[in-house]
A and B are shown apart, each in its own frame.
Chain A
C-alpha cells in the first residue's frame, strides 16, 4: 500500500458519466484487478472521507476510474476537478482477484455498476489466452459496458431489465448453461446477487467448492489498512475487516458467517 500524488491526466465523457485517467506508475504497478484505490476529495478537510474507487482499467503508468453522476459532493468535486489536478491516492487496498491456476474457461459475471470493476480481470485473463465469458445484468443501458471495450476473444452476454440491450430481465435464464461451461467464476455485484449466483451454482453443479468462485465484496473504506474497523462484513466465520481479508473473497467464505 502506498500514498501517492497522482495527476488527473485525462477525462472522457460518455453522457453524464466520466472516465478519469489517473497517472501514477507507482500505484498502477501495484494494483491488481479488484483492488480499490482511496482518493482524497476536496481541497481541505471537507469532505473528510476519501472516496473508494475500483479501477476499470489498469495500465503500466496509470489507472482509469468511472465516475457516474450521483448526489455525493465528494465525487462531484472529482467530476469538476480540472485536468492536471494532483489527486492524493491511497492504495491498493486488500486482496484483489487471483488468476485461477487450473481453470481454462472463466465466467465473469456482474450486476450494474459493479460489473465495470471486472474489466481489468477480463483483460488480464484474455491476455493469458484463457476462454472468457462476461455476463452482465443491469437496470438500464447506461450501466452496460459497450462491447467495443472488450477484447475480441471475450464472449459477452447482456441482460437489461427494460430490454433496451440484450435479453429482457436478468441473467437467471442464461446462468445455468454458462456455469456448466465455466471452470471458474469471478463476480462483482451486491450481496443479493451473490446469493442468487450461489443458488444457481449449487443447483447446476451440486456443490460450491472452494476455489471455484471469487466475489468482490464492495464497501467504502476509511483507513484501508485495518485500523479503523469501519469496513467489517460478516464473512469467513466472523465479523471481518474487508480491507484486510478482502475485498475479494472466495464465495465459500462469503456464506460462512
Chain B
C-alpha cells in the first residue's frame, strides 16, 4: 500500500503503482476486455466540466509518427449528470476513483469541488489538469480555490513542458501530488485541415523523462505520478527509478488492453516503498 497524499488527512492509498489515466475507462463505466478495476492502483475519470460540452466535431483523431493526436474538445455530459449517472458505479469499484475536473469559467473547478462533499466516501481525490498557457498566479489561484472547497486529495496535472516551472507554486497552493505531465499539444494535418490537441503515444515519453529530471533537482516533498508515453515495463521502471510513486497509462490501454494487463501484473512487485509520514507534520 502506498499513500499518494501523505500530507492530506484523508490520504489516498493505492495497492498498485499503475494508474488508469484520464478517461481510459470513461467514468469507470467502460472497460476493455481483460482489464478490471483491481488491475489499477486508481482510476482517473474522463474530464468533467461544470456544464455539458458537446466536444469537437469529427475528425478528432489522427495517427502521427510514433503516436497519435486526439482532440475530443472536452466532450462530457457535465458535472451534475456525471455524478447522477456514475456515483453508484464508483461505489462498487474496488479501486480509488479520482475525478478529473476541468475548467471553463473561472471558479468552475472550485464550484464542482465544493459539491463533492456528499461523495467524499466514494471519491478518493480530484485531478486538476493545468493548461500550457496558465501562468504561476493563475495556477496558484485555482488550486488554492479548489483546496478551500474540498478536503479531498488534489492531484495537479502539470503541462509536461512547464512542470518544473509550476511545481512548487502548485504544491504551496495546496496540491497533494503532481501528475507529470499533461501531454504537449501539437497539430497534424488531416484531409479536412488540421487537428490540434494533446499528443499521445511512445513519441511523448522523452518529454516525460525530461520533466522528471527537472523535478528531481527541485527535491519536492510530494508524490509524483509519471504520465505520458509509458508503454512498456521498462518505461515504467525508469520512471519509478527516477523517484515517482506511480505511473499512469492511457494510450496503451486503448491500443492494446492485453499488453496493459501484462504491465499491470508485472509492475506490482516494483511498488515503491515509502516511509509513513505523520499527516499532522506538513
Taking Cβ atoms with an 8 Å cutoff, the residues of A that contact B are 1-3, 40, 45-50, 74, 88, 90, 219-220, 222-223, 225-230, 232-234, 238-239, 244
Cβ-defined contact, A45 with B201, below 8 A? yes
Q: When chains A and B are docked, how far (Å) is the Cα of A228 from the Cα of B25?
A: 9
Count of residues in B whose CB is under 8 Å from the partner chain: 35
Cβ-defined contact, B66 with A222, below 8 A? no
Q: In this complex, which of B54, B61, B201, B256 has the most chain A Cβ atoms within 10 angstroms of its Cβ?
A: B61
Query: Within the complex, what minimum Cβ distance (angstroms) separates A1 from chain B?
Result: 5
Query: Within the complex, what minimum Cβ distance (angstroms) separates A3 from chain B?
Result: 5
Cβ-defined contact, B66 with A46, below 8 A? yes
Cβ-defined contact, B33 with A3, below 8 A? yes
Report 23 cross-chain contacts, Cβ distance below 8 Å, ordered by A residue. Answer: A3-B32, A3-B33, A3-B258, A40-B255, A45-B201, A45-B202, A45-B255, A48-B67, A49-B63, A50-B255, A88-B258, A219-B58, A226-B26, A227-B23, A227-B30, A227-B46, A228-B61, A228-B254, A229-B23, A230-B60, A232-B55, A232-B75, A239-B54
Dominant secondary structure at the A interface? loop
- 8 Å CB contact of A49 from B26, B46, B54, B255: B255
* Chain B contacts for A238, CB-based, 8 A: 54
* Chain A contacts for B31, CB-based, 8 A: 225
Within 8 A of A (CB), among B196-212: 201-202
**CB of B68 within 8 Å of the partner chain:** yes
Cβ-defined contact, B55 with A239, below 8 A? yes
Q: When chains A and B are docked, how far (Å) is the Cα of A234 from the Cα of B67?
A: 26
Query: Within the complex, what minimum Cβ distance (angstroms) separates A177 from chain B?
Result: 35
Q: When chains A and B are docked, how far (Å) is the Cα of A88 from the Cα of B65?
A: 20
Query: Within the complex, what minimum Cβ distance (angstroms) separates B34 from chain A?
Result: 6
Q: When chains A and B are docked, how far (Å) is the Cα of A229 from the Cα of B68?
A: 14
Query: Within the complex, what minimum Cβ distance (angstroms) separates B40 from chain A?
Result: 14
Query: Within the complex, what minimum Cβ distance (angstroms) separates A101 from chain B?
Result: 29
Cβ-defined contact, A227 with B24, below 8 A? yes
- Can you name the residue of chain A whose Cβ is closest to the Cβ of B232? A45
Cβ-defined contact, A47 with B255, below 8 A? no
* Chain B contacts for A47, CB-based, 8 A: 63
Q: When chains A and B are docked, how far (Å) is the Cα of A171 from the Cα of B48?
A: 46
Given A40-B256, A220-B61, CB of A48 within 8 Å of CB of B23: no
Top 10 closest pairs, chain A to chain B, by CB:
A230-B61, A223-B254, A226-B30, A229-B72, A49-B63, A45-B202, A230-B60, A227-B26, A3-B258, A227-B30
- Can you name the residue of chain A whose Cβ is closest to the Cβ of B63? A49
Cβ-defined contact, B32 with A225, below 8 A? yes
Q: When chains A and B are docked, how far (Å) is the Cα of A174 from the Cα of B254?
A: 44
Within 8 A of A (CB), among B37-83: 46, 54-55, 57-58, 60-61, 63-68, 70, 72, 75
- 8 Å CB contact of A48 from B58, B72, B201: B201
Given A3-B257, A48-B255, A233-B58, CB of A228 within 8 Å of CB of B70: yes
**CB of B142 within 8 Å of the partner chain:** no
* Chain A contacts for B24, CB-based, 8 A: 223, 227
